[in-house]
Structure 1
Amino acid sequence: MCQCDNSEAVSGPCCPSSLTDEMWEIIQPLLPVRDLRKGGGVRKYGDRLVLDSIFYVLRSGCQWRMLPRDLMPWDAAHRWFTTWRRNGTWDRVHDELRRRVRIGAGRDPEPSAAVIDAQSIKTSEGGEARGFDAGKRTTGRKRHVIVDTMGLLLVVAVTSASVQDRAGGRAVLARLAAGFRTVSLVWADGGYANSVDSRLLSWARDTLNIVVEIVKRTDDVKGFKVLPRRWVVERSFGWLVRNRRLARDYERLTATSEAMIKVAMIRLMLVRLAGQPSRWSHESHRKTARTKTVEDHIAV
Protein backbone atom coordinates (compact mmCIF):
# COMPACT_ATOMS: atom_id res chain seq x y z
CA MET A 1 0.00 0.00 0.00
CA CYS A 2 1.22 3.50 -0.80
CA GLN A 3 0.78 5.88 2.07
CA CYS A 4 1.99 9.44 2.55
CA ASP A 5 1.04 9.87 6.19
CA ASN A 6 4.46 8.85 7.52
CA SER A 7 6.20 10.90 10.14
CA GLU A 8 9.12 11.51 7.80
CA ALA A 9 8.84 14.06 5.01
CA VAL A 10 8.11 12.54 1.67
CA SER A 11 9.24 14.20 -1.57
CA GLY A 12 7.53 13.42 -4.83
CA PRO A 13 4.58 11.10 -5.39
CA CYS A 14 3.69 8.67 -2.62
CA CYS A 15 3.31 5.74 -5.04
CA PRO A 16 6.07 4.85 -7.51
CA SER A 17 3.35 4.57 -10.17
CA SER A 18 1.88 8.02 -9.46
CA LEU A 19 2.27 11.05 -11.69
CA THR A 20 5.07 13.45 -10.97
CA ASP A 21 4.43 17.18 -11.18
CA GLU A 22 6.18 17.32 -14.55
CA MET A 23 4.07 14.49 -15.95
CA TRP A 24 0.88 16.07 -14.63
CA GLU A 25 1.67 19.41 -16.29
CA ILE A 26 1.91 17.61 -19.64
CA ILE A 27 -1.28 15.57 -19.46
CA GLN A 28 -3.57 17.98 -17.60
CA PRO A 29 -4.37 20.21 -20.63
CA LEU A 30 -5.23 17.12 -22.69
CA LEU A 31 -7.97 15.88 -20.35
CA PRO A 32 -11.62 16.84 -20.96
CA VAL A 33 -12.92 19.87 -19.09
CA ARG A 34 -16.29 19.50 -17.44
CA ASP A 35 -18.78 22.21 -18.37
CA LEU A 36 -20.70 23.05 -15.19
CA ARG A 37 -23.22 25.05 -17.23
CA LYS A 38 -24.69 21.76 -18.47
CA GLY A 39 -25.60 20.72 -14.95
CA GLY A 40 -24.02 18.57 -12.28
CA GLY A 41 -22.08 19.40 -9.17
CA VAL A 42 -18.40 19.78 -8.50
CA ARG A 43 -16.47 16.55 -8.89
CA LYS A 44 -15.38 14.87 -5.68
CA TYR A 45 -12.17 13.40 -7.11
CA GLY A 46 -9.74 15.29 -9.32
CA ASP A 47 -8.29 13.98 -12.58
CA ARG A 48 -4.83 13.55 -11.10
CA LEU A 49 -6.13 11.20 -8.42
CA VAL A 50 -8.10 9.32 -11.08
CA LEU A 51 -4.95 8.81 -13.16
CA ASP A 52 -2.88 7.82 -10.12
CA SER A 53 -5.46 5.16 -9.23
CA ILE A 54 -5.60 3.77 -12.77
CA PHE A 55 -1.81 3.74 -13.07
CA TYR A 56 -1.59 1.90 -9.75
CA VAL A 57 -3.80 -0.90 -11.11
CA LEU A 58 -1.80 -0.94 -14.35
CA ARG A 59 1.63 -1.14 -12.76
CA SER A 60 0.85 -3.33 -9.75
CA GLY A 61 -1.58 -5.68 -11.50
CA CYS A 62 -3.95 -5.67 -8.53
CA GLN A 63 -7.70 -6.05 -8.74
CA TRP A 64 -9.74 -2.87 -8.92
CA ARG A 65 -11.33 -3.72 -5.58
CA MET A 66 -7.87 -3.81 -3.95
CA LEU A 67 -6.99 -0.17 -4.60
CA PRO A 68 -5.39 1.39 -1.51
CA ARG A 69 -7.67 3.62 0.52
CA ASP A 70 -5.38 6.62 0.15
CA LEU A 71 -6.15 6.68 -3.57
CA MET A 72 -9.83 6.66 -4.54
CA PRO A 73 -12.71 4.18 -4.30
CA TRP A 74 -12.25 1.38 -6.81
CA ASP A 75 -15.69 1.76 -8.35
CA ALA A 76 -15.10 5.46 -9.05
CA ALA A 77 -11.68 4.76 -10.60
CA HIS A 78 -13.10 1.98 -12.77
CA ARG A 79 -16.03 4.18 -13.79
CA TRP A 80 -13.72 6.95 -14.99
CA PHE A 81 -11.50 4.45 -16.80
CA THR A 82 -14.56 3.11 -18.64
CA THR A 83 -15.96 6.58 -19.33
CA TRP A 84 -12.72 7.75 -20.90
CA ARG A 85 -12.57 4.56 -22.97
CA ARG A 86 -16.06 5.08 -24.33
CA ASN A 87 -15.79 8.80 -25.07
CA GLY A 88 -12.40 8.46 -26.77
CA THR A 89 -10.32 10.33 -24.18
CA TRP A 90 -7.65 7.64 -23.99
CA ASP A 91 -7.35 7.63 -27.79
CA ARG A 92 -7.02 11.42 -28.04
CA VAL A 93 -4.46 11.69 -25.25
CA HIS A 94 -2.45 8.75 -26.60
CA ASP A 95 -2.30 10.10 -30.15
CA GLU A 96 -1.31 13.60 -29.04
CA LEU A 97 1.47 12.32 -26.79
CA ARG A 98 2.78 10.10 -29.59
CA ARG A 99 3.01 13.12 -31.88
CA ARG A 100 4.92 15.06 -29.23
CA VAL A 101 7.37 12.22 -28.62
CA ARG A 102 8.03 11.91 -32.34
CA ILE A 103 8.55 15.66 -32.72
CA GLY A 104 10.88 15.66 -29.72
CA ALA A 105 12.94 12.92 -31.41
CA GLY A 106 13.23 14.97 -34.60
CA ARG A 107 10.64 12.91 -36.51
CA ASP A 108 7.56 13.96 -38.43
CA PRO A 109 4.39 13.92 -36.29
CA GLU A 110 2.83 11.22 -38.48
CA PRO A 111 4.80 8.05 -39.36
CA SER A 112 5.52 6.81 -42.87
CA ALA A 113 6.56 3.23 -41.97
CA ALA A 114 5.52 0.74 -39.31
CA VAL A 115 6.05 -2.76 -37.94
CA ILE A 116 3.33 -5.35 -37.31
CA ASP A 117 3.33 -8.38 -35.02
CA ALA A 118 1.12 -10.37 -32.66
CA GLN A 119 1.56 -11.58 -29.08
CA SER A 120 -0.36 -14.45 -27.51
CA ILE A 121 -1.10 -13.91 -23.83
CA LYS A 122 -2.78 -16.04 -21.21
CA THR A 123 -6.08 -14.89 -19.73
CA SER A 124 -7.94 -15.45 -16.53
CA GLU A 125 -11.03 -17.61 -16.71
CA GLY A 126 -14.10 -16.19 -18.42
CA GLY A 127 -14.46 -13.17 -20.63
CA GLU A 128 -15.13 -12.79 -24.33
CA ALA A 129 -12.87 -13.86 -27.22
CA ARG A 130 -10.91 -16.55 -25.42
CA GLY A 131 -9.31 -19.33 -27.48
CA PHE A 132 -6.30 -21.60 -27.94
CA ASP A 133 -3.17 -20.75 -29.92
CA ALA A 134 -1.88 -24.12 -31.09
CA GLY A 135 1.46 -22.68 -32.21
CA LYS A 136 2.30 -21.05 -28.87
CA ARG A 137 0.24 -23.56 -26.85
CA THR A 138 -1.47 -20.69 -25.08
CA THR A 139 -5.07 -20.42 -23.99
CA GLY A 140 -6.15 -16.81 -23.98
CA ARG A 141 -6.06 -13.86 -26.33
CA LYS A 142 -3.81 -12.40 -28.98
CA ARG A 143 -2.64 -8.79 -29.23
CA HIS A 144 -2.25 -7.63 -32.81
CA VAL A 145 -0.27 -4.37 -32.82
CA ILE A 146 1.31 -2.02 -35.30
CA VAL A 147 4.02 0.34 -34.03
CA ASP A 148 6.10 3.03 -35.69
CA THR A 149 9.86 2.76 -36.12
CA MET A 150 10.33 4.14 -32.59
CA GLY A 151 8.18 1.39 -31.09
CA LEU A 152 5.26 3.71 -30.30
CA LEU A 153 1.80 2.22 -30.67
CA LEU A 154 -0.24 3.08 -33.75
CA VAL A 155 -2.98 0.43 -33.83
CA VAL A 156 -3.99 -2.42 -31.53
CA ALA A 157 -6.64 -5.13 -31.81
CA VAL A 158 -7.21 -7.83 -29.19
CA THR A 159 -8.75 -11.08 -30.44
CA SER A 160 -9.05 -14.69 -29.40
CA ALA A 161 -5.72 -16.51 -29.37
CA SER A 162 -7.11 -18.88 -32.00
CA VAL A 163 -7.20 -16.08 -34.61
CA GLN A 164 -4.37 -16.50 -37.12
CA ASP A 165 -1.84 -13.72 -37.62
CA ARG A 166 -2.99 -13.14 -41.19
CA ALA A 167 -6.63 -12.72 -40.14
CA GLY A 168 -5.70 -10.37 -37.31
CA GLY A 169 -3.32 -8.58 -39.63
CA ARG A 170 -6.18 -7.67 -41.96
CA ALA A 171 -8.04 -6.02 -39.09
CA VAL A 172 -5.16 -3.88 -37.84
CA LEU A 173 -3.96 -2.99 -41.34
CA ALA A 174 -7.44 -1.76 -42.19
CA ARG A 175 -7.43 0.38 -39.04
CA LEU A 176 -3.96 1.64 -39.92
CA ALA A 177 -5.02 2.68 -43.41
CA ALA A 178 -8.06 4.49 -42.03
CA GLY A 179 -6.16 6.40 -39.35
CA PHE A 180 -2.69 6.88 -40.86
CA ARG A 181 -2.76 7.69 -44.56
CA THR A 182 0.94 8.59 -44.44
CA VAL A 183 2.05 4.98 -43.78
CA SER A 184 2.97 3.18 -47.00
CA LEU A 185 5.37 0.48 -45.75
CA VAL A 186 4.88 -2.13 -43.02
CA TRP A 187 7.46 -4.72 -41.97
CA ALA A 188 6.21 -8.12 -40.81
CA ASP A 189 7.50 -11.60 -39.98
CA GLY A 190 6.97 -14.79 -41.94
CA GLY A 191 3.75 -15.60 -40.11
CA TYR A 192 1.88 -13.06 -42.21
CA ALA A 193 2.76 -14.68 -45.54
CA ASN A 194 4.40 -17.78 -46.97
CA SER A 195 4.94 -19.40 -50.33
CA VAL A 196 1.45 -20.94 -50.26
CA ASP A 197 -0.64 -18.01 -49.08
CA SER A 198 0.35 -14.42 -49.89
CA ARG A 199 -3.17 -12.99 -50.17
CA LEU A 200 -2.62 -10.64 -47.24
CA LEU A 201 0.29 -8.95 -49.02
CA SER A 202 -1.59 -8.52 -52.29
CA TRP A 203 -4.75 -7.36 -50.48
CA ALA A 204 -2.81 -4.72 -48.54
CA ARG A 205 -1.07 -3.51 -51.69
CA ASP A 206 -4.13 -3.38 -53.94
CA THR A 207 -6.80 -2.33 -51.43
CA LEU A 208 -4.95 -0.25 -48.84
CA ASN A 209 -1.99 0.93 -50.92
CA ILE A 210 0.37 -0.40 -48.23
CA VAL A 211 3.44 -2.51 -49.01
CA VAL A 212 3.92 -5.31 -46.48
CA GLU A 213 7.56 -6.42 -46.51
CA ILE A 214 8.41 -9.76 -44.90
CA VAL A 215 11.56 -9.90 -42.77
CA LYS A 216 12.53 -13.58 -42.69
CA ARG A 217 14.92 -15.49 -40.52
CA THR A 218 18.09 -16.98 -41.99
CA ASP A 219 18.05 -20.76 -41.77
CA ASP A 220 21.85 -20.89 -41.60
CA VAL A 221 21.98 -18.90 -38.35
CA LYS A 222 21.48 -20.90 -35.17
CA GLY A 223 20.28 -19.52 -31.86
CA PHE A 224 18.94 -16.06 -31.13
CA LYS A 225 19.59 -13.21 -33.52
CA VAL A 226 18.18 -9.70 -33.60
CA LEU A 227 16.36 -9.23 -36.90
CA PRO A 228 16.19 -5.85 -38.65
CA ARG A 229 12.99 -3.89 -37.96
CA ARG A 230 11.28 -6.80 -36.18
CA TRP A 231 13.10 -6.14 -32.91
CA VAL A 232 11.28 -2.80 -32.64
CA VAL A 233 7.86 -4.34 -32.07
CA GLU A 234 9.30 -7.06 -29.84
CA ARG A 235 10.72 -4.32 -27.62
CA SER A 236 7.27 -2.71 -27.51
CA PHE A 237 5.81 -5.99 -26.25
CA GLY A 238 8.50 -5.95 -23.57
CA TRP A 239 7.45 -2.45 -22.53
CA LEU A 240 3.85 -3.60 -22.17
CA VAL A 241 4.44 -6.68 -20.05
CA ARG A 242 6.55 -4.71 -17.58
CA ASN A 243 3.14 -3.57 -16.38
CA ARG A 244 1.81 -6.46 -14.30
CA ARG A 245 -1.75 -5.81 -15.39
CA LEU A 246 -0.63 -6.63 -18.95
CA ALA A 247 1.59 -9.62 -18.10
CA ARG A 248 -1.68 -11.53 -18.30
CA ASP A 249 -5.01 -10.46 -19.78
CA TYR A 250 -7.39 -10.04 -16.84
CA GLU A 251 -10.05 -8.02 -18.67
CA ARG A 252 -13.43 -9.47 -19.59
CA LEU A 253 -13.85 -7.28 -22.68
CA THR A 254 -11.37 -6.97 -25.53
CA ALA A 255 -12.14 -3.25 -25.75
CA THR A 256 -10.98 -2.89 -22.14
CA SER A 257 -7.78 -4.80 -22.96
CA GLU A 258 -7.06 -2.44 -25.86
CA ALA A 259 -7.69 0.59 -23.65
CA MET A 260 -5.35 -0.71 -20.93
CA ILE A 261 -2.59 -1.15 -23.53
CA LYS A 262 -3.04 2.48 -24.60
CA VAL A 263 -2.94 3.60 -20.96
CA ALA A 264 0.38 1.79 -20.57
CA MET A 265 1.77 3.60 -23.60
CA ILE A 266 0.41 6.92 -22.31
CA ARG A 267 2.35 6.53 -19.09
CA LEU A 268 5.49 5.48 -20.95
CA MET A 269 5.33 8.55 -23.19
CA LEU A 270 4.64 10.84 -20.22
CA VAL A 271 7.81 9.53 -18.56
CA ARG A 272 9.80 10.30 -21.69
CA LEU A 273 8.34 13.77 -22.25
CA ALA A 274 8.87 14.70 -18.59
CA GLY A 275 12.48 13.52 -18.68
CA GLN A 276 11.88 11.07 -15.85
CA PRO A 277 13.93 7.88 -15.36
CA SER A 278 12.34 4.89 -17.05
CA ARG A 279 12.53 2.77 -13.88
CA TRP A 280 9.69 3.31 -11.45
CA SER A 281 11.44 1.51 -8.59
CA HIS A 282 13.70 3.28 -6.11
CA GLU A 283 16.95 2.41 -7.89
CA SER A 284 18.87 5.31 -6.35
CA HIS A 285 17.90 4.19 -2.86
CA ARG A 286 19.07 0.63 -3.52
CA LYS A 287 22.34 1.87 -4.99
CA THR A 288 22.99 4.00 -1.92
CA ALA A 289 22.25 1.03 0.34
CA ARG A 290 24.64 -1.23 -1.59
CA THR A 291 27.40 1.38 -1.41
CA LYS A 292 26.93 1.77 2.32
CA THR A 293 27.05 -2.01 2.81
CA VAL A 294 30.35 -2.23 0.94
CA GLU A 295 31.84 0.65 2.93
CA ASP A 296 30.78 -0.95 6.23
CA HIS A 297 32.32 -4.25 5.16
CA ILE A 298 35.63 -2.55 4.27
CA ALA A 299 35.64 -0.71 7.61
CA VAL A 300 35.24 -3.98 9.51
Structure 2
Amino acid sequence: MKFPRRLIIDTVLYVLGTGCAWRLVPHDLAPWDAAYRWFRAWTADGTWDRVHDALRQKVRTAQGRDPQPSAAVLDSQSVRTHQGGQAVGFDAGKRVRGRKRHLLVDTCGLVLRAVVHSASVQDRAGAKLVLSGIRAAFPQVGLVRVDGGYVNAVDSGLVGWAAGTENVEIVAVPRNADVKGFRVLPRRWVVERTFSWLGRCRRLARDYERKTAHAEAMIKVAMIRLMAARLAGEDVEPHGPIETEAARRLAEDLNQE
Protein backbone atom coordinates (compact mmCIF):
# COMPACT_ATOMS: atom_id res chain seq x y z
CA MET A 1 0.00 0.00 0.00
CA LYS A 2 1.49 3.31 -1.09
CA PHE A 3 -0.42 5.39 1.47
CA PRO A 4 -0.85 4.54 5.18
CA ARG A 5 -4.11 2.81 6.05
CA ARG A 6 -4.82 5.46 8.68
CA LEU A 7 -4.66 8.16 6.01
CA ILE A 8 -7.03 6.18 3.78
CA ILE A 9 -9.47 5.73 6.68
CA ASP A 10 -9.28 9.44 7.53
CA THR A 11 -10.08 10.31 3.92
CA VAL A 12 -13.08 7.98 3.80
CA LEU A 13 -14.34 9.40 7.11
CA TYR A 14 -13.90 12.93 5.77
CA VAL A 15 -16.11 12.13 2.79
CA LEU A 16 -18.62 10.45 5.09
CA GLY A 17 -18.79 13.28 7.60
CA THR A 18 -18.74 16.27 5.24
CA GLY A 19 -20.66 14.77 2.34
CA CYS A 20 -18.23 16.18 -0.19
CA ALA A 21 -17.52 14.57 -3.55
CA TRP A 22 -14.54 12.26 -3.71
CA ARG A 23 -12.75 14.60 -6.12
CA LEU A 24 -13.03 17.49 -3.61
CA VAL A 25 -11.04 15.80 -0.85
CA PRO A 26 -8.41 18.21 0.60
CA HIS A 27 -4.84 17.74 -0.55
CA ASP A 28 -3.55 17.01 2.97
CA LEU A 29 -5.48 13.74 2.90
CA ALA A 30 -4.94 10.78 0.59
CA PRO A 31 -5.59 11.33 -3.13
CA TRP A 32 -9.25 10.84 -3.84
CA ASP A 33 -8.72 8.06 -6.38
CA ALA A 34 -6.58 6.05 -3.96
CA ALA A 35 -9.09 6.48 -1.11
CA TYR A 36 -12.01 5.54 -3.35
CA ARG A 37 -10.12 2.55 -4.75
CA TRP A 38 -9.53 1.17 -1.25
CA PHE A 39 -13.08 1.97 -0.16
CA ARG A 40 -14.34 0.00 -3.15
CA ALA A 41 -11.91 -2.88 -2.54
CA TRP A 42 -12.79 -3.14 1.16
CA THR A 43 -16.46 -3.16 0.20
CA ALA A 44 -15.97 -5.97 -2.30
CA ASP A 45 -13.90 -8.23 -0.02
CA GLY A 46 -16.10 -7.69 3.06
CA THR A 47 -13.53 -5.79 5.15
CA TRP A 48 -16.05 -3.19 6.28
CA ASP A 49 -18.46 -5.95 7.30
CA ARG A 50 -15.87 -7.81 9.34
CA VAL A 51 -14.64 -4.69 11.14
CA HIS A 52 -18.22 -3.59 11.81
CA ASP A 53 -19.28 -6.95 13.24
CA ALA A 54 -16.18 -7.21 15.45
CA LEU A 55 -16.73 -3.72 16.88
CA ARG A 56 -20.42 -4.41 17.50
CA GLN A 57 -19.56 -7.43 19.61
CA LYS A 58 -16.99 -5.43 21.56
CA VAL A 59 -19.48 -2.63 22.24
CA ARG A 60 -22.12 -5.08 23.44
CA THR A 61 -19.56 -6.80 25.68
CA ALA A 62 -18.44 -3.44 27.09
CA GLN A 63 -22.08 -2.72 27.95
CA GLY A 64 -22.34 -5.99 29.87
CA ARG A 65 -24.46 -7.72 27.26
CA ASP A 66 -24.10 -10.97 25.35
CA PRO A 67 -22.11 -10.44 22.13
CA GLN A 68 -24.93 -12.18 20.23
CA PRO A 69 -28.32 -10.40 20.38
CA SER A 70 -31.58 -12.24 21.07
CA ALA A 71 -34.03 -9.57 19.85
CA ALA A 72 -34.00 -7.01 17.06
CA VAL A 73 -35.97 -4.14 15.56
CA LEU A 74 -36.64 -3.68 11.84
CA ASP A 75 -37.54 -0.55 9.90
CA SER A 76 -36.86 1.23 6.61
CA GLN A 77 -36.03 4.77 5.55
CA SER A 78 -36.70 6.20 2.09
CA VAL A 79 -34.02 8.62 0.88
CA ARG A 80 -33.57 10.55 -2.33
CA THR A 81 -30.76 9.69 -4.69
CA HIS A 82 -28.56 12.28 -6.32
CA GLN A 83 -27.92 11.34 -9.94
CA GLY A 84 -29.52 7.99 -10.41
CA GLY A 85 -27.52 4.80 -10.30
CA GLN A 86 -28.40 1.24 -9.43
CA ALA A 87 -31.85 0.27 -8.05
CA VAL A 88 -33.61 3.63 -8.08
CA GLY A 89 -37.39 3.65 -7.74
CA PHE A 90 -40.35 5.64 -6.45
CA ASP A 91 -41.91 5.22 -3.02
CA ALA A 92 -45.55 6.11 -3.63
CA GLY A 93 -46.39 6.19 0.08
CA LYS A 94 -43.75 8.77 1.02
CA ARG A 95 -43.52 10.24 -2.47
CA VAL A 96 -39.76 9.84 -2.61
CA ARG A 97 -37.76 8.86 -5.69
CA GLY A 98 -34.66 7.03 -4.63
CA ARG A 99 -33.79 4.07 -2.45
CA LYS A 100 -34.81 2.49 0.83
CA ARG A 101 -32.42 1.73 3.66
CA HIS A 102 -33.66 -1.32 5.51
CA LEU A 103 -32.02 -1.71 8.91
CA LEU A 104 -32.16 -4.51 11.43
CA VAL A 105 -30.75 -3.30 14.75
CA ASP A 106 -30.36 -4.81 18.21
CA THR A 107 -32.01 -3.37 21.31
CA CYS A 108 -29.06 -0.99 21.73
CA GLY A 109 -29.53 0.45 18.24
CA LEU A 110 -26.44 -1.19 16.75
CA VAL A 111 -26.86 -2.36 13.17
CA LEU A 112 -27.09 -6.11 12.65
CA ARG A 113 -27.86 -6.01 8.95
CA ALA A 114 -28.31 -3.21 6.41
CA VAL A 115 -29.87 -3.70 2.98
CA VAL A 116 -30.30 -0.89 0.45
CA HIS A 117 -32.81 -1.47 -2.35
CA SER A 118 -35.11 0.45 -4.65
CA ALA A 119 -37.69 2.69 -2.97
CA SER A 120 -40.36 1.00 -5.09
CA VAL A 121 -39.90 -2.28 -3.18
CA GLN A 122 -42.62 -2.72 -0.56
CA ASP A 123 -41.54 -2.91 3.07
CA ARG A 124 -42.74 -6.48 3.47
CA ALA A 125 -40.72 -7.63 0.46
CA GLY A 126 -37.72 -5.69 1.68
CA ALA A 127 -38.06 -7.28 5.12
CA LYS A 128 -37.56 -10.71 3.56
CA LEU A 129 -34.31 -9.49 2.00
CA VAL A 130 -33.09 -8.37 5.42
CA LEU A 131 -34.25 -11.42 7.36
CA SER A 132 -33.10 -14.08 4.89
CA GLY A 133 -30.46 -16.17 6.63
CA ILE A 134 -30.70 -14.16 9.83
CA ARG A 135 -30.61 -17.20 12.11
CA ALA A 136 -27.45 -18.44 10.45
CA ALA A 137 -25.73 -15.11 11.10
CA PHE A 138 -27.31 -14.52 14.53
CA PRO A 139 -28.43 -17.87 15.99
CA GLN A 140 -29.93 -16.34 19.15
CA VAL A 141 -32.24 -13.85 17.43
CA GLY A 142 -35.78 -15.15 17.93
CA LEU A 143 -37.84 -11.95 18.06
CA VAL A 144 -38.05 -9.06 15.62
CA ARG A 145 -40.22 -6.03 16.31
CA VAL A 146 -41.71 -4.10 13.38
CA ASP A 147 -44.36 -1.46 12.81
CA GLY A 148 -47.91 -2.28 11.80
CA GLY A 149 -47.23 -1.77 8.10
CA TYR A 150 -45.24 -4.99 7.90
CA VAL A 151 -48.01 -7.25 9.16
CA ASN A 152 -51.22 -5.45 8.18
CA ALA A 153 -51.37 -7.30 4.88
CA VAL A 154 -51.73 -10.90 6.04
CA ASP A 155 -51.65 -12.05 2.43
CA SER A 156 -47.98 -11.08 2.25
CA GLY A 157 -47.17 -14.03 4.51
CA LEU A 158 -44.27 -12.24 6.20
CA VAL A 159 -45.12 -13.53 9.67
CA GLY A 160 -45.58 -17.09 8.46
CA TRP A 161 -42.52 -16.93 6.23
CA ALA A 162 -40.32 -15.67 9.09
CA ALA A 163 -41.61 -18.34 11.47
CA GLY A 164 -41.35 -21.19 9.00
CA THR A 165 -38.15 -20.28 7.16
CA GLU A 166 -36.08 -18.42 9.72
CA ASN A 167 -37.74 -19.55 12.98
CA VAL A 168 -38.15 -15.90 13.95
CA GLU A 169 -41.22 -14.37 15.58
CA ILE A 170 -42.44 -11.09 14.08
CA VAL A 171 -44.15 -8.82 16.60
CA ALA A 172 -45.82 -5.58 15.50
CA VAL A 173 -45.75 -2.49 17.69
CA PRO A 174 -48.93 -0.72 16.55
CA ARG A 175 -49.47 3.00 16.54
CA ASN A 176 -52.43 4.36 18.51
CA ALA A 177 -54.82 5.78 15.91
CA ASP A 178 -56.42 8.06 18.51
CA VAL A 179 -53.18 9.93 19.13
CA LYS A 180 -52.34 12.61 16.58
CA GLY A 181 -48.85 13.75 15.70
CA PHE A 182 -45.54 12.22 16.68
CA ARG A 183 -45.44 9.64 19.45
CA VAL A 184 -42.54 7.57 20.73
CA LEU A 185 -43.44 3.89 20.40
CA PRO A 186 -42.04 1.29 22.81
CA ARG A 187 -38.95 -0.46 21.41
CA ARG A 188 -39.58 1.04 17.97
CA TRP A 189 -37.80 4.26 18.88
CA VAL A 190 -34.48 2.38 19.01
CA VAL A 191 -34.23 1.96 15.24
CA GLU A 192 -35.44 5.51 14.67
CA ARG A 193 -32.57 6.72 16.81
CA THR A 194 -30.16 4.69 14.68
CA PHE A 195 -31.43 6.48 11.57
CA SER A 196 -30.79 9.73 13.44
CA TRP A 197 -27.22 8.64 14.17
CA LEU A 198 -26.68 7.98 10.48
CA GLY A 199 -28.18 11.36 9.59
CA ARG A 200 -25.35 13.10 11.42
CA CYS A 201 -23.09 12.04 8.56
CA ARG A 202 -23.78 14.38 5.67
CA ARG A 203 -22.89 11.75 3.08
CA LEU A 204 -25.96 9.84 4.31
CA ALA A 205 -28.32 12.81 4.22
CA ARG A 206 -29.05 11.62 0.68
CA ASP A 207 -27.93 8.55 -1.20
CA TYR A 208 -25.01 9.74 -3.33
CA GLU A 209 -23.68 6.29 -4.17
CA ARG A 210 -24.03 4.81 -7.64
CA LYS A 211 -24.14 1.23 -6.32
CA THR A 212 -26.26 -0.19 -3.53
CA ALA A 213 -23.25 -2.12 -2.20
CA HIS A 214 -21.41 1.17 -1.67
CA ALA A 215 -24.48 2.67 -0.01
CA GLU A 216 -24.59 -0.25 2.42
CA ALA A 217 -20.84 0.12 3.03
CA MET A 218 -21.26 3.79 3.93
CA ILE A 219 -23.80 2.81 6.58
CA LYS A 220 -21.31 0.32 8.01
CA VAL A 221 -18.53 2.94 7.97
CA ALA A 222 -20.76 5.38 9.85
CA MET A 223 -21.46 2.76 12.52
CA ILE A 224 -17.76 1.83 12.68
CA ARG A 225 -16.96 5.48 13.37
CA LEU A 226 -19.58 5.66 16.11
CA MET A 227 -18.64 2.37 17.80
CA ALA A 228 -14.90 3.07 17.68
CA ALA A 229 -15.51 6.40 19.40
CA ARG A 230 -17.54 4.68 22.11
CA LEU A 231 -14.87 2.07 22.74
CA ALA A 232 -12.26 4.84 22.93
CA GLY A 233 -14.32 6.61 25.59
CA GLU A 234 -15.20 9.56 23.39
CA ASP A 235 -18.70 10.96 23.78
CA VAL A 236 -19.76 11.78 20.22
CA GLU A 237 -23.42 12.31 21.09
CA PRO A 238 -24.60 15.82 22.06
CA HIS A 239 -26.08 16.27 25.51
CA GLY A 240 -29.61 17.58 25.89
CA PRO A 241 -33.15 16.67 26.89
CA ILE A 242 -33.69 14.38 23.90
CA GLU A 243 -30.55 12.34 24.58
CA THR A 244 -31.35 12.22 28.30
CA GLU A 245 -34.84 10.90 27.64
CA ALA A 246 -33.50 8.38 25.12
CA ALA A 247 -30.98 7.09 27.67
CA ARG A 248 -33.73 6.75 30.28
CA ARG A 249 -35.98 4.81 27.91
CA LEU A 250 -33.11 2.57 26.85
CA ALA A 251 -32.32 1.74 30.47
CA GLU A 252 -35.98 0.88 31.08
CA ASP A 253 -36.11 -1.36 28.02
CA LEU A 254 -32.93 -3.20 28.99
CA ASN A 255 -34.17 -3.76 32.53
CA GLN A 256 -37.38 -5.32 31.20
CA GLU A 257 -35.53 -7.95 29.16
TM-score with structure 2 length normalisation? 0.90
Residue 251 of structure 2: aligned partner:
none
Alignment check: 8 A CA contact 2:3 2:30 kept: yes
| Cα distance in structure 2, aligned partners of 1:190 and 1:176 | 21
Q: CA deviation at 1:176?
A: 2.0
| Cα distance in structure 1, aligned partners of 2:14 and 2:237 | 15
Alignment check: 8 A CA contact 1:155 1:175 kept: no
Residue 44 of structure 1: aligned partner:
2
Mapped pair 1:140 → 2:98: yes
Alignment check: 8 A CA contact 1:114 1:187 kept: yes
The correspondence for 1:158, drawn from 96, 107, 116, is: 116
Per-residue CA deviation, residues 62-86 of structure 1 (Å, 9 max, x unaligned), is: 0000000000100000011111111
Mark the runs of 5 or more structure 1 residues left unpaired by the alignment: 1-42, 281-300
| Cα distance in structure 1, aligned partners of 2:95 and 2:74 | 21
SS in 2 for 1:62: coil
Mapped pair 1:266 → 2:200: no
Mapped pair 1:103 → 2:61: yes
Q: CA deviation at 1:195?
A: 5.3
The correspondence for 2:51, drawn from 72, 93, 100, is: 93
Residue 147 of structure 2: aligned partner:
189
| Cα distance in structure 2, aligned partners of 1:44 and 1:138 | 42
SS in 1 for 2:115: strand
SS in 2 for 1:197: helix
Q: CA deviation at 1:126?
A: 2.0
Mapped pair 1:241 → 2:199: yes
Residue 82 of structure 2: aligned partner:
124
| Cα distance in structure 2, aligned partners of 1:69 and 1:176 | 42
> In structure 2, what residue type is equivalent to 1:172?
V
Q: CA deviation at 1:221?
A: 1.8
| Cα distance in structure 2, aligned partners of 1:166 and 1:196 | 10
* Two-structure CA RMSD over aligned residues (Å): 1.2
Q: CA deviation at 1:222?
A: 2.2
SS in 1 for 2:20: coil
| Cα distance in structure 2, aligned partners of 1:107 and 1:46 | 35
Moved over 4 A (4+): none
| Cα distance in structure 1, aligned partners of 2:41 and 2:204 | 20
Alignment check: 8 A CA contact 1:154 1:176 kept: no
The correspondence for 1:78, drawn from 36, 53, 60, is: 36
SS in 2 for 1:187: strand
| Cα distance in structure 2, aligned partners of 1:268 and 1:254 | 22
Number of residues of Structure 1 aligned to a counterpart in Structure 2 = 238
Per-residue CA deviation, residues 99-132 of structure 1 (Å, 9 max, x unaligned), is: 0000001100000000000000000122010000
Q: CA deviation at 1:219?
A: 1.5
Per-residue CA deviation, residues 164-193 of structure 1 (Å, 9 max, x unaligned), is: 000000010114233111100000001111
SS in 2 for 1:245: helix
TM-score with structure 1 length normalisation? 0.77
Q: CA deviation at 1:196?
A: 4.2
Question: Residue 175 and residue 67 in structure 1: after superposition, are their counterparts in 2 closer, same or farther (change >3 A)?
Answer: farther
| Cα distance in structure 2, aligned partners of 1:55 and 1:257 | 14
Per-residue CA deviation, residues 202-241 of structure 1 (Å, 9 max, x unaligned), is: 1101111000000001122222211011100000000011
Pair member with larger Rg: 1
Residue 17 of structure 2: aligned partner:
59
Per-residue CA deviation, residues 29-84 of structure 1 (Å, 9 max, x unaligned), is: xxxxxxxxxxxxxx321111011000000000000000000001000000111111
Residue 230 of structure 1: aligned partner:
188
